[in-house]
Amino acid sequence: MSATPRRRVMRQNRVLWLLDRLEREPRADALIDTLRRGVRALPLGRGRDLLHGRWLGHPVHPLMVQVPIGSWLSAAVLDLRPGRSRESGLLVGVGLGTAAPAAVAGWVDWAELHHRQQRVGLVHALSNTVAVGLYAASLVCRVKGREGAGRAYGFLGLTAVGVGGMLGGHLAYRQASGANHAEEVPNVVSPGWHRVGSVDEFPAGEPVRRSVDDVPVLVVRESGGAVHALAERCSHLAGPLSEGTVADGCVRCPWHGSVFRLSDGWNVRGPATAPQPSFETRITGGHVEVRLRHQNGGEPAGQGNRTRSGAAHGHGDHD
């Protein structure tokens, strides 16, 4: 008698189901909009780009959180051994002291995300706020000599940090917040020159969207004749640069205000932390052709565009 094989029922991961539901839950959107306006209104000046991590090439918040998380985890390890409460308390204090600047960087990044990401990010921030409160209670108990209560609050705080870290990982890896959304361009655009249209199709000073190997490309012709081309999807969150504004040799993303230099794609202003892939351009027989830089012996970014006849196009350089 042969046994009938049982069919394995594949169930959805409960945690992922909850996170997907959180992404779609709009009830906190009014609060999110208020908080976003408040964070954007902070008089941070150039410090805003510093907190975004433009100088580092990727968000600085994940780097900054290593100090408080590492301090609190180390405190938990020491709490497992008797007689080490003083050292644990010192580490708890270090974590509390470094949590604030990490949180500020996180809020500045959060204010420039999509609503689905901000919904998860808000709960991420709340989890970490609970963790800070628990660790503050832990430190107070330790100072008062209530070591048992201090350890208990510390372990609860570490649990809250773990929940916040899981949500942060979901933001970074599932929702791609902080990722370079133009990274794939050099991997999918084929080598060589690609014709994108006649010169007459590109009004001077107007951003125009074209496509190369199904990759959207922004083309801008200056009034003096120079032609610039960049990957059209913003590296920050894939905003359409062809719908942005062109001024002073740069293009501004319409979604979150990142500014890129047309001559070489350099991110002049955040929240984008990565530059745009840029293309060499030339005019052949009245048609504009583009080639991704650093392919087929292409010029390094910023060296200038050339026509086939060898006449150089001028490039502006804006800080």
pLDDT tens-place values along the chain, 319 residues long: 455 555 565 677 888 899 999 999 999 999 999 999 999 999 999 999 999 999 999 999 999 999 999 999 999 999 998 778 889 999 999 999 999 999 999 999 999 999 999 999 999 999 999 999 999 999 999 999 999 999 999 999 999 999 999 999 999 999 999 999 999 999 999 999 999 999 999 999 999 999 999 999 999 999 889 999 999 999 999 999 999 999 999 999 999 999 999 999 999 999 999 999 999 999 999 999 999 997 544 444 333 344 333 333 333 333 3
The Cα angle at residue 278 between residues 59 and 244, in degrees rounded to 5: 75
DSSP class per residue in 86-113: HHHHHHHHHHHHHHHHHHHHHHHHHTTS
Amino acid at 305: N
Nearest alpha carbon to residue 139 among 96, 77, 80, 79 = 96
How does DSSP classify residue 233?
Answer: B
Closest CA to 307 of 242, 225, 245, 188: 225
**Element (H or E) spanning 252, and its range?**
strand 250-252
The C-alpha atoms of residue 279 and residue 219 are separated, in whole angstroms, by 9
- Judge whether 237 and 256 are in contact, CB under 8 Å: yes
Give the type of residue at 15: V
pLDDT at 181: 97
CB-CB contact of 304 with 298 (8 Å): no
- How many angstroms separate the CA atoms of 305 and 226, rounded? 8
Q: Which of 261, 273, 270 is nearest to 317 (CA)?
A: 261
Amino acid letter at 98? Answer: T
Q: Identify the pLDDT of residue 2.
A: 52
Q: Distance (Å, rounded) from C-alpha 32 to C-alpha 12?
A: 29
Q: How far apart are CA 273 and CA 236, in angstroms?
A: 7
Task: Decide: 121 and 110 in contact? Cβ < 8 Å.
Answer: yes
Between CA 92 and CA 102 the distance in angstroms is: 15
**pTM of the shown model:** 0.84
